[in-house]
Amino acid sequence: MRASAARPSSTDDSDTHDTAILTIDLAALADNYRNLRDRTRPAECAAVVKADAYGLGMVQAASVLWRAGCRTFFVATIAEAIDLRILLPDAVIYVLNGVLAGTAATFQEHGLRPVLNSANEVRDWA
């Protein structure tokens, strides 16, 4: 029989239970974008910044990518797209979730582009 490990107390204030800290090198992010862009020419290179840029911070990541020359971005939801539109008014922004019922006017109002995920969405968007 093995003894069970002691569980940390929620009132334990020792440093053994500190949360992790992630440091993002935004200059490296910009360099990586430019490297990919240069390798994929003449095709366009875009950035996916959904889910808060995968935890990097959409505002910081998208701003750095814009300054590095990225003009096309993908997000998951229309709410993310509107937030990004406010930050980057001249960007081309695609929404991966497509056109959900009742959202066509919002896409048009904010100059957003849906990713059309089915024949029905293509027909409805046309």
Q: Where are the domains of the chain?
A: 23-125
Mean pLDDT to the nearest integer, 100-108: 92
Q: How many CB atoms lie within 10 A of CB 3?
A: 5
pLDDT 10s digits, 32-76:
999 999 999 999 999 999 999 998 999 999 999 999 999 999 999
Residue 75 has φ and ψ, to the nearest 5°, of -130, 170
Report d(CA 58, CA 64) in Å as an integer. 10
Report d(CA 112, CA 105) in Å as an integer. 10
Bridge partners of residue 113, in order along the sequence: 94
| CATH class of the domain defined by 23-125 | alpha beta
Bridge partners of residue 93, in order along the sequence: 73
